[in-house]
Structure 1
Amino acid sequence: MFKPQGIIPAMVTPMTQDEQINEKELRAQVNRMVAAGVHGLFCLGTNGEFYALSLEEKLEVIRIVTDENKGRLPVYAGTGCITSRDTIYLSQKAKELGVDALSIITPYFVAVSQDEIYSHYKEIAEAVALPIVLYNIPMRTGNNIEYKTLQRLAEIENIVGIKDSSGNFDNMLRYIEETAGSVAVLSGNDSLILSALMAGGTGSISGIANLFPEILVKIYELWQKGDIEGAKTVQGSLRPIRDTLKLGNPNSIVKRAMNLLGYQVGPARRPAAGVSEKADEAILKALEYYK
């Protein structure tokens, strides 16, 4: 049984200044993450700007990541679309390109019931023979996967995990408690990684791992060794950079910080490309802390 676990970077999609996919830098980031000791690669998540990419661009990102990875780590691809039909199509294409697992966000913009969420995921799971990690981020999608719905979905063999980015720790606890380990629960909030692990979660799909993958890996490794105090110290060290995320679009903030660290990932795609002068100053100050 495929088990999502450890630190899985929610990789950015590097772009040139004219907003074309930067293949060279994307390949470099794959190798950088592998060298940092992460436990998987996740392309086309929120940090990967899946919402801003065409179908052809999404397939290109998947192709590049799987090709450069060369089987070294499990590759997760975000294939969730608004409709079940489009999600199935993209998921099948991702399977052809060699991904190991799918991350599927809830339908967004359209309001759906819990029964419709269940039917949506069930139909996809039956159509695509790959492990599926559900993605819950209600503040962006308007739809929340309730724990009772997760209980039902956990009975489907290839639904193996859920990334919870609700920011509500009690919501994540209910996922862990009510599924009794039948699905892996991963934190999508970088401030809750250690809390999730201590409560029975299996790891994190992390946006901040784009910046400091070694720090995120250290949290997981210290937790594995039982050094909870050490893990708490490392977890707390994320606060300065996390505090900058509220100063703009988080994707733009992460990309700006990466550029300042010397990684040529370019801007986020417009309209979310800009970073204010105030945010820029805060990012620079935060990065000084990590030096």
Structure 2
Amino acid sequence: METLMLEGVLFFPVTPFTDIGEVDLDALRRHVSAGVDAGPGGVFVACGTGEFHALDVEEYTAVVRTAVDAAAGRVPVYAGAGGALGAARRFARAAAGAGADGLLLMPPYLVESPADGLVAYTRAVAGETPLPVIVYNRANARFDEDSAVRVAQLPTVTGLKDGTGDLDLMARVVLAVRDALSGSGKDFQFFNGMPTAEASQQAYRALGVELYSSASFAFAPDIALAFHRALEEGDHRRADALQRAFFHPLVRLRKRVPGYAVALVKAGVTLEGIKAGPVRPPLTSLGEQETEELAAIIAAGRAVLAS
């Protein structure tokens, strides 16, 4: 299998819902198309920001197919899969059938898993399709050095995304995987998958982890791209200014209520002109005052760009 290498800012679209809670595929199509027009390196649909946890397989299939159609081959489209093993396999097959270019493998459902079990889970889901798989290291799916090496050696696993924030372990995992794959000819990529990943990306970048998921790209692609450009060019002054004005305030707002990592992105998408609708339970949407705060944060970020 030829490894699908990613670069640039990675776009994680929301899944828009109507006022009565149905998936709004027209809004999704506009959202993905506008995002791809802005210039990301890839689209990750129906993942955490896209409320994968709240979609049934029929909705999921329609969401992935719509995103693939909207991207129109301009960038790769990855789709989330995970949860209970049987469901994860079904979602993986549905993603392949809907035209996805790859999978982001979420944690299994609820249970705490030993390392051997996580490797077996990854092998079972990855074996459902020939699609490349990025494994998400977070929550109850925490890989140590040995298990990370073993999943990296699976034929279709091409990346590991970290959402734990454990930089000590991540530093060891990166070196262990690179050493194990050295001489194999296999390309493998690491990703920062922390919420509001830009806030921690300078630390991850020091470990050699240059890719990251950008939730903010979904509603403020100009700010997200400017920050990425500042990192690439070593413009620490611009990066720090965007951290102070935009990303750090966004983190403070996000931490106010569990689940706001998704809800504030949906509110931002609506503020920018595409009605994303509410989040589905058990998440809760932003209130009016918090939506006004978010609008002010976006304005402050754009003021940095203007200066």
Under a length normalisation based on structure 2, what TM-score does the superposition of the two structures give? 0.86
1:176 is displaced (CA, Å) by 2.0
Residue 274 of structure 1, aligned match among 270, 282, 285: 285
CA distance in 2, matches of 1:151, 1:12: 32
Cα distance change, pair 63–216 in 1 and its aligned pair in 2 (3 A): same
Q: Give matches, 1:40-189, under 5 Å.
A: 40-83=42-85, 85-138=86-139, 142-180=140-178, 182=181, 183-189=188-194
Aligned residue for 1:258?
A: 269
Aligned residue for 2:252?
A: 243
Aligned residue for 1:20?
A: 22
Cα distance change, pair 87–32 in 1 and its aligned pair in 2 (3 A): same
1:230 is displaced (CA, Å) by 4.1
1:90 is displaced (CA, Å) by 1.7
Aligned residue for 1:9?
A: 11
Q: Which amino acid aligns with 2:166?
A: N
Residue 228 of structure 2, aligned match among 220, 225, 228: 220
Percent identity of equivalent pairs = 26
**8 Å contact kept, 2:171–2:207:** yes
Q: Give matches, 1:193-204, under 5 Å.
A: 193-204=201-212
1:102 is displaced (CA, Å) by 0.4
Q: Which amino acid aligns with 1:129?
A: P
Residue 208 in structure 1 maps to residue 216 in structure 2: yes
CA distance in 2, matches of 1:152, 1:162: 12
CA distance in 1, matches of 2:278, 2:284: 5
Cα distance change, pair 11–174 in 1 and its aligned pair in 2 (3 A): farther
Q: Per the alignment, in what secondary structure is the counterpart of residue 56 of structure 1?
A: helix
> Which structure 2 residue ranges, 5 or more long, are not aligned?
182-187, 303-307
Q: Which amino acid aligns with 1:204?
A: Y
Cα distance change, pair 216–178 in 1 and its aligned pair in 2 (3 A): farther
1:77 is displaced (CA, Å) by 0.3
CA distance in 1, matches of 2:68, 2:93: 15
> Which structure 1 residue ranges, 5 or more long, are not aligned?
none
**8 Å contact kept, 2:145–2:173:** yes
1:235 is displaced (CA, Å) by 4.7
Which is further off, 219-228 or 52-61?
Answer: 219-228
Q: Per the alignment, in what secondary structure is the counterpart of residue 176 of structure 1?
A: helix
Q: Which amino acid aligns with 1:45?
A: C
1:202 is displaced (CA, Å) by 3.2
Aligned residues: 287
**8 Å contact kept, 2:14–2:45:** yes
**8 Å contact kept, 1:82–1:110:** no
CA RMSD of aligned residues (A): 2.1
Which is further off, 208-217 or 277-286?
Answer: 277-286
CA distance in 2, matches of 1:147, 1:235: 31
1:128 is displaced (CA, Å) by 1.6
1:289 is displaced (CA, Å) by 1.5
Q: Per the alignment, in what secondary structure is the counterpart of residue 241 of structure 1?
A: helix
Cα distance change, pair 263–167 in 1 and its aligned pair in 2 (3 A): farther
CA distance in 2, matches of 1:256, 1:219: 21
**8 Å contact kept, 1:203–1:220:** no
CA distance in 1, matches of 2:202, 2:222: 15
CA distance in 2, matches of 1:146, 1:213: 34
**8 Å contact kept, 1:47–1:207:** yes
**8 Å contact kept, 1:25–1:265:** yes
Under a length normalisation based on structure 1, what TM-score does the superposition of the two structures give? 0.90
Cα distance change, pair 74–235 in 1 and its aligned pair in 2 (3 A): farther
